Structure 1
Amino acid sequence: MEKFDHAAVSPPAHGMAVMAFGKHVLRIMAENTGGSLGMFEACVLPGEGPPLHVHEREDELFRVLSGRFGFWCAGDYVELTEGGSIALPRGVPHRFRNVGQTEGRLMVIVTPGGFESFFPIVELCKPETPEQIASIARGFGLTFPPEDDRKVA
């Protein structure tokens, strides 16, 4: 990986669109930042969002670009609308959901980078079962707590 010693730029209307758990637009890849960070947009339909999960490798920063989102983390819940931001720590179970009535968009920054590559792999592999999804996720340090542990969120 190259050293992060120059600007990593994602002009408007650029980025790689990926269809995996909804539409994601990859804006800045870890290889463009020496691994420091990755950035992508998530387009999320009303009522949609990932199940409770844990990132073992990266912290996440979300900025709501449009819509209304609920975020659950470590027993806390917060709703944010356009312009709101939240940082979620690695190693802590969390999830988010579009709690609005229209499609919402999130800008997501992961640090260190690398997790943004999860979505193209999912699109390529097309997993059909929770076990297949979990297998891909484990390769990215992503786990899903057992059902008994999900009551916190």
Structure 2
Amino acid sequence: MTTFTHAAVSPPDHGTPAMASGKHVIRMMAANTGGALGMFEASVPPGEGPPLHMHEREDEFFRVLSGRFGFWCAGHYVELAEGGCIALPRGVPHRFRNIGETEGCLMVVVTPGGFENFFPIIDLCKPETPEQIASVAKDFGVTFVPDDGLPHDERPHDDRKVA
């Protein structure tokens, strides 16, 4: 990997599209930041979002660009609308869901970078079963966590709100 010594730029309307678990646009690749970070935008239909999962390698930062989202992390729940931000630590089970009535959009920064490549790989491979998706995710240091495998106070609940 190269050293991050020059600005990484993503002009408006540029990026690499990936149709995997919704529409993603990869805006910055780890290869362009010396591995420091990756960034993508995710368009999420109402009621959609990933299952409970955990990243071994990276922290995630989310900014809501449009819509309204619920985020669950380590037994806590928070709702954020446009302009809201949340940072989620690696090694902690989390998930999010579009809780609005229209498509929402998130900007996601992962640090260190690398996970942003997950979506183009899923788009390319087109896994058909949850087991196949989990196999690809494992290559990226991501594991899906069953809700029933967590202590009761760490299961995500829609009625938990933390400001």
Which TM bucket (shorter chain)? over 0.9
Distance in 2 between residues matched to 1:121 and 1:110, nearest whole Å: 17
Question: Which residue number in structure 2 is paired with residue 103 of structure 1?
Answer: 103
Q: 1:5 aligned to 2:36?
A: no
Is the 8 Å Cα contact of residues 62 and 85 (structure 2) preserved in structure 1? Answer: yes
Counterpart mapping for 1:4-153 below 5 A: 4-149=4-149, 152-153=155-156
Identity of aligned residues (%): 76
Which of structure 1's runs of 4+ aligned residues deviate more than 2 A?
A: none
Structure 2 stretches of 5 or more lacking a match?
Answer: 157-163
| 1:2, distance to aligned residue in structure 2 (A) | 1.4
C-alpha deviation, 1:149, in angstroms = 2.0
Q: Secondary structure at the match of 1:107?
A: strand
- SS at the partner of 1:60? strand
1:53 corresponds to which letter in structure 2? Answer: H
* Displacement after TM superposition at 1:31 (Å): 0.2
What do you get for the CA RMSD once the two structures are aligned? 0.9
**Aligned equivalents of 2:121, 2:18: Cα separation in 1:** 10
How far apart, in 1, do the equivalents of 2:89 and 2:2 lie?
26
TM-superposed CA distance for 1:147, in Å, is 4.5
Q: How far apart are 1:146 and its partner, in Å? A: 3.0
- TM-score, structure 1 as length reference: 0.98
2:161 corresponding residue in structure 1: none
Secondary structure of the 2:21 match is: coil
1:145 positional shift: 1.4
For each residue in 1:44-103, what CA deviation from the matched residue of structure 2 results, as whole angstroms up to 9, or x when unmatched?
000000000000000000000000000000000000000000000000000000000000
TM, length-normalised to structure 2: 0.92
